[in-house]
Amino acid sequence: MVGHFQEFEDEYLETMYEFHEVEPLGIVRTGDLAARLRVSPASATEMVQRLASRGLLEYIPYKGARLTDEGLVHGQKMKRRHRLAEVLLEHLPYEGNAHETACRLEHAIDDDMEVALSRLVGADALDPSGRPIPPPTEDIETRLKGSGRTVSLLEMQDGESGHLVGMLLPVDAKEGLDAAGCTLGSHLSKSGEHLLTSAGDVLSISDDWLRAVFISVEENTT
- The pLDDT, as a whole number, for residue 109 is 94
- The pLDDT, as a whole number, for residue 3 is 55
For the chain (length 222 residues), average pLDDT per consecutive 10? 71 96 94 96 95 96 95 96 92 86 93 88 82 91 78 89 85 81 87 88 84 81 44
How many independent structural domains does the chain possess? 3
45 and 83 in a single domain? The answer is: no
The structure's pTM equals 0.76
78 and 30 in a single domain? The answer is: no
Q: Is 176 inside a domain boundary?
A: yes
- Secondary structure string (H, E, C) spanning the chain: CHHHHHHHHHHHHHHHHHHHHHCCCCCECHHHHHHHHCCCHHHHHHHHHHHHHCCCEEEECCCEEEECHHHHHHHHHHHHHHHHHHHHHHHCCCCCCHHHHHHHHHHHCCHHHHHHHHHHHCCCCECCCCCECCCCCHHHHHHHCCCCEEEEHHHCCCCCEEEEEEECCCHHHHHHHHHCCCCCCCEEEEECCEEEECCCCEECCCHHHHHCEEEEECCCCC
Q: Is 34 inside a domain boundary?
A: yes
Q: Domain boundary residue among 67, 101, 116? A: 67
Q: Is 19 inside a domain boundary?
A: yes
- The pLDDT, as a whole number, for residue 5 is 64
Domain that holds residue 138: 72-144
Which CATH number do you get for residue 19? 1.10.10.10
116 and 134 in a single domain? The answer is: yes
- The pLDDT, as a whole number, for residue 31 is 96
